[in-house]
Structure 1
């Protein structure tokens, strides 16, 4: 038995991938803190998780033991579960969080620490200057802009939230009229940052103009056992299973001893050379798209952890996909649970 705890909305895709690979007799459990039957409805058993993190730990262990669950995959708050790994192991449960220690979460989640360590390990990574004041921001921009475009992002965060390209030749109102452009006038951004009552640390970096590769992978104690790279090309996404970006992602996962279904992001420079952006110690929002390549990453993860035969991968080259919205029917009583 395997249990997929609350994750990204792609939790539905992960459950579907596992169901396609596991024998019918193996039950799949899923849970979420919100009423999300459209996500958890594909599981054999679906639960509503407690809201409080500490209460949730005890509840998960109790439910897993009572229902014969062997493997528990954390999603959104892997670090919370990782802090209680000893409790899960004492109960005879296999806990998968994306890492094998809290130290890894601290080194990866703080992008400033991650960048320094990746560079020190000899991996190509976008160099960055950490700033916490307007003066530091303006100084870092002046230093980096001599060699090209400059961008910023928070030291902590997901989904690209807080990412902006800085420029001195852009309309000051552009960031308000078209926020999706992620381009902002330097003086507008710097002044706003300086007036913030509690400014959060930012990374100031050279802007890489090339394409981004998002590598979804199944890892076991740092070893990547299956992986697929995704690149956005307009409205479409294409896939790759080798090349410099995928190789760099595998090295990063090995160095930080990733463990579970994780995601590594890279971005190419003007010459097409990939540089590390970040590691997400959880499955990505687009992990479900990778099944179109003939590689079922969630299924590979689930079967290997349960010591069952894993699904055969047959790579389909030249595949492109486009995400679409699909309506999922749920009963009213399911929404009220």
Structure 2
């Protein structure tokens, strides 16, 4: 759990086995100097740079690092995850050390969340869910993502429900993180016919469950509804 919860430790673990192909270019940094060196290394390889906390959740602390300082357009525009390199560097200089940050290559392709159900070391179901733009989500049968789920299950043996997040870069899937819990988008993956919460509880309480073959040809969205409270 400690290793999975820290992206740096997770990437380091995967770099030592057959899953190294999933690891993006990255560095773990704790000082402004290390941040500058990591940015220079990635830029020299032609990469766009981003950073995020080593143990953050969701999009907390995620920033894309750009070269130019903020302009008047930024002030009047939409809120953005982008920050100028100089601004980030100056902020990090205000402390001698800070909690670990992951400085890594920005992955520009589609993002997939793979919701998984496992028991006694066996992967019983995997449902790849693509962020297809806005609030649209697509459940897709992507063989290489199914293989990734199988290999990660064999390596980590996480029981019941867990989630794998990957993002593509130039057609190659790279690991973002692994969540040893139910994901926030599980209600969409359950449209596949896999009732993840129910099956997980049944496996826990009885040791067995009939897991159907998922329908991976679903495109869905969600809406908000006004509810009168008083």
Bucket of the pairwise TM-score, normalised by the shorter protein: 0.7 to 0.9
Which one has the bigger strand percentage? Answer: 2
* TM-score computed with the length of structure 1 as normaliser: 0.61
* TM-score computed with the length of structure 2 as normaliser: 0.87
Count of matched residue positions in the alignment of Structure 1 and Structure 2: 226
Summarize the alignment of residues 115-130 of structure 1 with structure 2, pairs less than 5 Å apart.
Answer: 115-123=11-19, 124-130=22-28
CA–CA separation in structure 2 for the residues paired with 1:173 and 1:189: 18
Q: 1:107 to 1:169 in 2, by over 3 A?
A: same
SS of 2:113's equivalent in the other structure is: strand
Larger Rg: 1
Residues 234-270 of structure 1: CA deviation (Å, up to 9, x unaligned): 1200012442123213312321221121111111111
Aligned to 1:145: 43
Question: Which runs of 5 or more residues in structure 1 are unaligned?
Answer: 1-104, 333-337
Match of 1:211 among 110, 123, 132: 110
Question: Which runs of 5 or more residues in structure 2 are unaligned?
Answer: none
Q: Is contact 1:238–1:320 with CA below 8 Å preserved after alignment?
A: yes
Aligned to 1:246: 146
Q: 1:169 to 1:244 in 2, by over 3 A?
A: farther
Match of 2:161 among 261, 264, 268: 261
Aligned to 1:131: 29
Residues 52-82 of structure 1: CA deviation (Å, up to 9, x unaligned): xxxxxxxxxxxxxxxxxxxxxxxxxxxxxxx
**Deviation of 1:284 (Å):** 0.5
Q: Which runs of 4+ in 1 moved over 4 A?
A: 172-180, 326-330
- What RMSD over aligned residues (CA atoms) do the two structures have, in Å? 2.5
SS of 1:148's equivalent in the other structure is: coil
Residues 17-64 of structure 1: CA deviation (Å, up to 9, x unaligned): xxxxxxxxxxxxxxxxxxxxxxxxxxxxxxxxxxxxxxxxxxxxxxxx
CA–CA separation in structure 2 for the residues paired with 1:307 and 1:321: 32
**Deviation of 1:156 (Å):** 0.7
